[in-house]
Each structure stands twice: as C-alpha cells, then as structure tokens.
Amino acid sequence: MIALLYPYLILSGGTILIVTAWLLHQAQRQTQRASELIRLNESLEFDLPDFLRASWPALSDGGFTGLSWHLVWFGTDIRETQGTRSSVFLSKDFDVGDIRLHVELYTPKHGWERSYFSRTLAEKFFLLLQMDLWIKLGSVRSTFEQTARMSVFLQHDIKNMLQLTSLAADQLMTPVPGQETRLLDMLKRSLPALQERADRILKRLVQSSEVQLGTRNKSAAIDLKAFIGNALDLHGLPAQLDGPDCFVLIAPDSFQSILDNLLGNYVQQIQSGNSIQMPQLRVSWQIHLLKDRKPTRVNAETLEFGDEPRYVLIRLYDSNGQPCLKPERLFEPFWSEHGKGRGIGLFQSRQLATQWGGAINIEAPADGPLVFKIELPAKV
C-alpha cells in the first residue's frame, strides 16, 4: 500500500529540493548584486550622484525593470530614469541638510519570492544611498569647521600684528617730546617681533599644506639630544633626557614641528590643571634596526660611508602624569579636549613622522601615564 505512495513522495521531495536550490540560487544572486553595488559605491568614492547614475546595471541584473530618481543637490534639481517604469515600485525619500532625494525602483508583477528578493536588494541600495548622503554632509561640515577654526587662529595672530603695527605707526606719527630714544628702542624691539610673527603665520600655513600635500624639505642630520634640549627650553620645560648620541635624519622643520606640537600639547595640559602632581617630564630614546622597514627618504648627503640608516625610538612621558581617558581621540583631526585648540597638532605630528618613514604611537595604560613613542630615521 505504502509502495503506491512512493512516486508521490519522491515527486514531493524532488520538488522541495528543486525549490530550495532555486531559492538558494536566487539568494546568492542577490547577495552578489548587493556586493557589486557596495564595490561600485566604493570605487566611486561614495559620491551620491555618480552612484545613482552608475548603479542601474547591477539593479537591472537584480530583477528591477526601472530606476527613477529626483535629486535636489545643494539647490540643483536633477531627474533621471533608467529602464522602464511600471505600476509596482519600491520608493524611498531622503531629506538631510541641502540634499533631498526621492528614488523609485520598479519591479515586474512577480510572485512573492521574487518580490522578497527585490525588496532585500532595494533596502541595501537605499542604505548605500543614505550612507553616501551622510558622508557628503559630514565632509562638507568638517571642511567648513576646519576653515572656520583655521580662520579663528589666523585672525588672532593677524589682529595682534595689526595692533602692533598700528601702535608703532601712532607713536612714529606723533612722538612724545623727549622720548625719541625710547621710541627708537621700542621700534628696534617691535619690528623683529613683527617679522617673527609674520614668519610664524607663514610657517603654519606652509606646514599645513606640506602635511596635506605630502611635500617635504631635504633631510639633515640633527643631533637628537641638543635638538630636544633646545625644544624643551623653548617651551620652558625641564626634563630628564636619557639616550645614546645619535642623529635624526629628517628635515629640521619637520622635527621642530613634531616636537612643538607634542610639547605644546603637554604644556596646555599642565596649564589646564589636569596634572595633579608636579610635572616630571622624561624623554628617553634607543636606537634599533627594523629588518622589515628601512628609511627610504633619507637624503644621501646626510649619510657617510658605512652609515646604515636605523630608527630611533623616542619615549616621551610625564612620570607623574595622569592616565589618558580618551586615547582613541588623541590623533583624531579637529578634536580638541576643551575646544581650546585647533585639534590638529598631534594629527599633524603623526602625519609628518609618517611622511619621513617614521611613526608616532602611544601607550595608554589604565593606571599609568600616557607615553608618546616617536619613531624616526636616525644614524648613530
């Protein structure tokens, strides 16, 4: 009796197997389409209009009959349709800042399973569009913030320069009788200060563009101990120095900038009162040879016969310093703990060190002081 049911059971089992295999195949196809869309978006650098224009082939392969969108891109209206429209569609609206987008994806009148797969692919497509939109807005906002912050910093220096010039001019135009010698002394002191200020502004602008464009001056052999000692003196920081005699092989400007940013940041921390105990700055270094990494940007003139470029690892820390609570933020550009700085100093230092084939890293133990580790090309 049961034998009579065998053909039906085999037929049912076979049908189930075929349907499952088909569904799996469909799922794989849609996953493939979604991956194609993700790769396409990456290759277009997350640019929303370009992605909208280029995504149709992958969507068409995914079973959609048409794509229509209406984009308001910073005040400009753009409408496009690819494929053919139909009465069945999935749609989504986005409205953030100066960008508005309405997208419609048309599907043929399929059964439920195709509709399910189309919906899954459409949701991924919409998610990518939303991501592009936020990336664009984020980059626009951060660019404006960066410009505004830079402008605030330059304004401060330029207004002081103007004030200085204006006072000097006022005194020159109508000197106080009997005070001519003093006026001359004043000018002798103020004019070099004015030049130093203009140099500083120019240097800041040049450094900023150097970091962004990756241009560099020639490397030189810098006496590490003397250079660090001088930088510490400039910042009025007493410190314990410990390390062998060696020469750092990068441009003096870059090294000065790296140290200025790190030490300036440290001074700011002390002045903010974040350090409870007496500051006790320590700088130590050791020379090591990295087998898998050789300095590549060292100027040949700085090397003598037999010199082998190595690396110097400089550890800079305050033995009485507090643990760093947000180590992940230290090198994030435009992040400032109290909103008092540009938030670019440490980021810039790290970029400079990297450009010379070096690195800046940190050790941030939960119960110990923050340690900056600066690795730079060097020779003994």
Q: Which two tokens stand for residue 276?
A: 């409870």
Question: Closest CB to other proteins among 135 and 267?
Answer: 267
Amino acid at residue number 342 = R
The one-letter amino acid at 211:
V
Q: Report, in Å, the least distance between residue 276 CB and other proteins.
A: 16
Does 159 bind other proteins (CB under 8 A)? Our answer is yes
Residue 351 phi, psi dihedral angles, 5° rounding: -60, -45
171 binds other proteins (CB under 8 A): yes
Buried b (16+ CB within 10 A) or exposed e, 183-209: eeeeeeeeeeebeebeeeeeebeebee
Pick the binder of other proteins from 76, 87, 174, 296 (CB under 8 A): 174
Binding flag, residue 176, other proteins (CB under 8 A): yes
Among 213, 278, 338, 366, binds other proteins (CB under 8 A): 338
SS3 label, residue 17: helix
Q: To the nearest whole angstrom, how small is the minimum distance from the Cβ of residue 199 to other proteins?
A: 12
Nearer to other proteins, 43 or 179 (CB): 179
- Separation between Cα atoms, residue 155 and residue 152, nearest integer Å: 5
Of 329, 327, 333, 337, nearest to 345 (Cα)?
Answer: 333
Q: According to the binding rule CB under 8 A, does residue 160 interact with other proteins? A: yes
Nearer to other proteins (CB atom), residue 39 or residue 156: 156
- Our finding on whether 181 is near other proteins (CB under 8 A) is no
Q: How far is the CB of 205 from other proteins (least distance, A)?
A: 17
The answer to whether residue 276 forms part of the interface with other proteins (CB under 8 A) is: no
CB of 296 to other proteins, least distance (A): 38
Rule CB under 8 A: say whether 236 interacts with other proteins: no
Cβ atoms of 343 and 336 closer than 8 Å: yes
Going by C-alpha positions, the residue among 358, 150, 168, 370 that lies closest to residue 249 is: 358
User: What's the sign of the alpha-carbon dihedral 304, 290, 257, 150?
Assistant: positive
Cβ nearer to other proteins, comparing 168 with 303: 168
Residues 286/244, Cβ–Cβ less than 8 Å: yes
Which lies closer to other proteins via its Cβ, residue 163 or residue 230? 163
Bridge partners (DSSP) listed for residue 296: none
Q: Which of residues 340-379 bind other proteins (CB under 8 A)?
A: 340-341
Which residue among 80, 113, 170, 245 contacts other proteins (CB under 8 A)? Answer: 170
User: Do residues 107 and 89 touch, judged by C-beta distance below 8 A?
Assistant: yes
Number of neighbours of residue 218 by Cβ within 10 angstroms: 12
Inter-residue long-range contacts of 147-152, CB under 8 Å, 24+ positions, other chains counted? 149/334, 149/342, 149/343, 150/208, 150/342
Minimal distance, residue 370 CB to other proteins, in Å: 18
- Total site size for other proteins, rule CB under 8 A: 38
Only one residue has tokens 């020159």, namely 172
From 66-74, 105-113, 194-202, 275-283, give the range in contact with other proteins by CB under 8 A.
194-202
2-5: Cβ within 8 A, 24+ apart: none
Least gap, CB of 226 to other proteins (angstroms): 25
* Contact set with other proteins (CB under 8 A): 152-153, 155-156, 159-160, 162-168, 170-171, 173-176, 179, 182-183, 185-186, 189-190, 193-194, 196-197, 267-268, 271-272, 338-341
